């Protein structure tokens, strides 16, 4: 009996030793020692298994230094390099090549990092003198393109208000603004000829109403009319307190890929008898966007007709011109609406009436309906 018990103990000890060396996960049915060392890894409950898998893995790796050190000395999983990578996202920098690795920093989008090793999934980098790792999918050897610095409009406060409901997108530019900006800008992309960024516009000869104010009121009515008809709308401005040039207004409409751009203005002439509505577009030879002449001409035609039908205004003409920055910078069909002459007493009084302004907005919307064949 004594011998048998001794033998049994020996077998137990050997089993434990074997378990420790191999790191095998065998149910610890024999002996309390094994149970203590491996911990509650092998519960029957599947939930308990899930909870303990992580610590079990750690025990295996830490208790087997032989295997670990062999791996390190014979095979570095990272191919050594010495170059630069750029982050394509806000990217965590970790102390180990694993999502469990401690986060020791972060790379901003486009930020450069000195790469020291290429792994299967992870890249090794030098991070302020520390060996660190980032996930390889989110870095690139080529520097990502700079964000659109050419188009500043998003930075202009109070501009570019989007009402997106999935319909055709009409950009509405209520011409001018509270304060003129006489700084110069090119009249078109790449042009050497310069023009004032934005003027303050005209004003009513009788009413004294500033043009930027009239333009905004009609534009807001037009916005509501278009939204009611199922269009999406991009408002270049909804207040007079902006500072956005004519070129920037066009670029803003371009940026949102508007289907049509309507620039709302009122006219003025030294001949106070001049009256009536007109629209404008580029010529077919416009060096910047002559390719947009055909749709812009049709748009101008239909909107002018819509206005005259809705308001009874005299139909003057469609002017084709390549002198307008706000047209030349367009990459989308565009029309300038000159609703009437504020220099004409009769028309100035009409334009001051709320009913006339609403009719004007409805007329522009009717023209857009025809343009989009709705």
Shortest distance, CB of residue 323 to Zn ion, whole angstroms? 13
Is 204 an interacting residue with respect to Zn ion (CB under 5 A)? no
Residues 223-262: x where in contact with Zn ion by CB under 5 A, - otherwise, as a string: ----------------------------------------
Give the count of beta carbons closer than 10 Å to the beta carbon of residue 236: 28
Closest CA to 233 of 243, 219, 247: 219
Residue 205 CA to residue 217 CA, distance in Å, equals 18
Q: Of 201-209, 247-255, 302-310, 348-356, which segment contacts Zn ion by CB under 5 A?
A: 201-209
C-alpha dihedral sign at 38, 44, 45, 46: positive
Residues within window 257-296 making contact with Zn ion, judged by CB under 5 A: 265
Q: Is residue 210 part of the contact set for Zn ion (CB under 5 A)? A: no
- Using the minimum distance from each CB to Zn ion, give the nearer residue, 123 or 250: 250
Determine the Cα–Cα distance for residues 328 and 145; give it in Å rounded to an integer.
26
- C-alpha span between 171 and 248 (Å, rounded): 13
Query: Closest CB to Zn ion among 265 and 297?
Result: 265
Least gap, CB of 263 to Zn ion (angstroms): 8
Scanning the structure block, which residue is given the tokens 């004007």?
Answer: 360
Q: Which residue is nearest to Zn ion (CB)?
A: 265
Closer residue to Zn ion in complex, CB, 124/265: 265
- Nearest to Zn ion of 175, 276 (CB atom): 175
Torsion-angle region of residue 163: left (phi > 0), alpha (psi -120 to 50) or beta? beta
Q: Which stretch binds Zn ion (CB under 5 A): 73-81, 198-206, 285-293, 360-368?
A: 198-206
Select from 91-99, 113-121, 129-137, 171-179 the region that touches Zn ion (CB under 5 A): 171-179
Q: Which of residues 168 and 329 has its CB atom nearest to Zn ion in the complex?
A: 329
How do strand 103-107 and strand 169-174 relate by DSSP bridges? unpaired
Q: Is 201 in the site for Zn ion (CB under 5 A)?
A: yes
Integer Cα distance of 284 and 263 in angstroms:
19
Query: Please, which residue, 111 or 213, has the CB nearer to Zn ion?
Result: 213
**357 forms part of the interface with Zn ion (CB under 5 A):** no
Kindly give the interhelix angle for 354-371 and 211-228, rounded to the nearest 10 degrees: 50
Question: CA of 5: how far to CAs of 8, 9, 113, in Å?
Answer: 5, 6, 64
CA distance 142 to 147: 15
22 Cβ contact partners less than 8 Å away, ≥ 6 residues apart:
none
Q: In angstroms, give the least distance from the CB of 211 to Zn ion.
A: 5
Q: How many residues bind Zn ion (CB under 5 A)?
A: 3
Which one of 57-65, 163-171, 172-180, 181-189 is the stretch in contact with Zn ion (CB under 5 A)? Answer: 172-180
* Cβ nearer to Zn ion, comparing 175 with 333: 175
Q: Between 134 and 218, whose beta carbon lies closer to Zn ion?
A: 218
Q: Which residues bind to Zn ion, rule: CB under 5 A?
A: 175, 201, 265
């Amino acid at each position: 009996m004594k011998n048998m018990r001794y033998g049994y103990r020996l077998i137990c000890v050997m089993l434990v030793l074997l378990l420790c060396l191999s790191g095998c996960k065998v149910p610890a049915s024999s002996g309390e020692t094994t149970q203590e060392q491996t911990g509650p890894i092998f519960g029957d409950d599947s939930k308990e298994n899930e909870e303990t898998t992580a610590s079990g893995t750690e025990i295996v790796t830490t208790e087997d230094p032989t295997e670990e050190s062999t791996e390190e000395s014979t095979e570095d999983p990272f191919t050594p390099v010495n170059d630069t990578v750029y982050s394509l996202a806000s990217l965590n920098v970790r102390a180990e090549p694993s999502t469990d690795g401690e986060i020791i920093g972060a790379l901003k989008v486009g930020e450069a990092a000195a790469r020291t090793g290429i792994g299967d999934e992870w890249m090794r980098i030098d991070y302020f003198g520390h060996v660190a790792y980032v996930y390889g999918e989110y870095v690139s050897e080529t520097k990502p393109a700079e964000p659109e610095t050419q188009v500043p409009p998003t930075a202009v406060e109070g501009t570019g208000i989007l009402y997106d409901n999935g319909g055709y997108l009409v950009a509405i530019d209520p011409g001018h603004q509270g304060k003129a900006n006489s700084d110069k800008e090119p009249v078109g992309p790449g042009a050497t000829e310069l023009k004032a960024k934005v003027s303050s516009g005209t004003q009513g000869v009788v009413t004294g109403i500033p043009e930027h104010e009239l333009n905004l009121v009609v534009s807001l009515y037009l916005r509501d009319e278009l939204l009611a008809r199922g269009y999406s709308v991009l408002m270049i401005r909804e207040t007079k307190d902006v500072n956005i040039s004519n070129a920037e207004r066009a670029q803003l409409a371009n940026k949102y890929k508007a289907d049509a751009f309507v620039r709302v203005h009122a006219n003025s002439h030294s001949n106070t008898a001049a009256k009536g509505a007109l629209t404008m577009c580029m010529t077919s030879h416009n060096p910047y966007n002559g390719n947009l002449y055909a749709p812009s001409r049709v748009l101008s035609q239909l909107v002018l007709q819509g206005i005259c039908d809705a308001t009874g205004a005299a139909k003057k003409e469609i002017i084709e011109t390549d002198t307008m920055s706000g047209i030349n910078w367009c990459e989308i069909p565009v029309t300038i609406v000159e609703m009437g002459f504020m220099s004409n007493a009769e028309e100035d009084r009409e334009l001051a009436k709320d009913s006339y302004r609403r009719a004007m907005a409805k007329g522009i919307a009717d023209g857009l309906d025809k343009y989009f064949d709705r």
